Chains A and B, each alone.
Chain A
Amino acid sequence: MSEFTPEKTLDAKGLKCPMPVVKTSKEIKSISVGGVLEVLATDPGSMADITAWTKSTGNELLKAEKDEGVFKFYLRRVK
């Protein structure tokens, strides 16, 4: 389905602020530089927050989409 092959998937569904961001920051360190992390979240705030997090940390947000109430993010670890 997706044009990115995630190295890992973080299931942050059901978690509220700030957990999706906090867990993302931990998980991204577990994949290789250049690798893609898929994050699944249901918190509507995560759309703005994950975007802000990538901007602030310098990682790349490849794609953000909403699929039946679940937000899917594809993040590339830059450093």
Chain B
Amino acid sequence: MSEDSQKCTIIVFSGDMDKVFAAFIIATTAAAMGMETTMFFTFWGLKAIQKGNVTGKGLFGRMLGLMNRGGIDRLGPSKFNFFGLGRWMFKKMMKDQNVATLPEMLEMAIDLDVKMLACLMSMDVMEISQDDLIDEVDDVVGAATMLAEAQQSQVQYFI
């Protein structure tokens, strides 16, 4: 990367397919433009970097793990989901348009050295352990680490 390298920080709060999609489009493009790019996944956004196994230990954690199961391919759109029908429809429409899939976008982001950070506090609340996250996650951190990254970034997004 160039010596005057710019930085981009994206906070992925949403676990909706469409919003996560936007986050990955921005992240991969920023990385392609030579920007040092960081994605910080928090709360519902953690779903995008989960392996997809059922999570949680206690009653509520387990319930959340079952009803809100992670895995990037399981995400549904923010509107028009209709119990998974919308997800299927959007996947099909995107495929027909030759748009990359979410798992492909994730793979591409990893390939482009996008830094993946997970929010420790929301993992604790939702009873998600680091073992539940994909191996490519660089670190599990707090808000201060994300803010330190964002402070040095010319471009920041909250999605």
Q: How would residues 1 to 45 of chain A score, 1 for a CB under 8 Å from any chain B CB and 0 otherwise?
A: 000000000000011111101101110000000000000000000
User: Is A16's CB under 8 angstroms from B29's CB?
Assistant: no
Q: Which of B47-55, B95-103, B126-134 contacts A (4 or more CB under 8 A)?
A: B95-103
- Give CA–CA (A79, B32) in the complex, Å: 15
User: Is A16's CB under 8 angstroms from B2's CB?
Assistant: no
Count of A-B contacts judged by CB separation below 8 Å: 39
Is B28 located at the chain interface by the 8 A CB criterion? yes
Q: For A25, list chain B residues within 8 Å (CB).
A: 31-34, 112
Contacts from A to B (Cβ < 8 Å): 14-19, 21-22, 24-26, 52-53, 56-58, 79
Q: How many residues of B contact A (CB 8 A)?
A: 14
User: Is A16's CB under 8 angstroms from B99's CB?
Assistant: yes
User: Is B98's CB under 8 angstroms from A53's CB?
Assistant: no
Chain A nearest CB: distance from B151 CB in Å? 21
Contacts from B to A (Cβ < 8 Å): 2, 25, 28-29, 31-34, 97-100, 108, 112
- Give CA–CA (A17, B31) in the complex, Å: 14
Which one of B2, B32, B99, B100 has the highest number of Cβ atoms from chain A below 10 Å of its Cβ? Answer: B32
User: Is B33's CB under 8 angstroms from A16's CB?
Assistant: no
Q: For A17, list chain B residues within 8 Å (CB).
A: 25
Task: Check A56/B98 contact, CB under 8 A, given A21-B29, A22-B28, A22-B108.
Answer: no
- Give CA–CA (A58, B6) in the complex, Å: 13
9 extra A-B contacts, CB within 8 A, seeds A21-B32, A22-B31: A15-B98, A16-B99, A16-B100, A18-B32, A22-B108, A22-B112, A25-B32, A56-B33, A57-B2
29 contacts between A and B (CB under 8 A): A14-B98, A15-B98, A16-B97, A16-B98, A16-B99, A17-B25, A18-B25, A18-B28, A18-B29, A18-B32, A19-B100, A21-B32, A21-B33, A22-B28, A22-B29, A22-B31, A22-B32, A22-B108, A25-B31, A25-B33, A25-B112, A26-B32, A52-B33, A53-B33, A56-B33, A56-B34, A57-B33, A57-B34, A79-B2
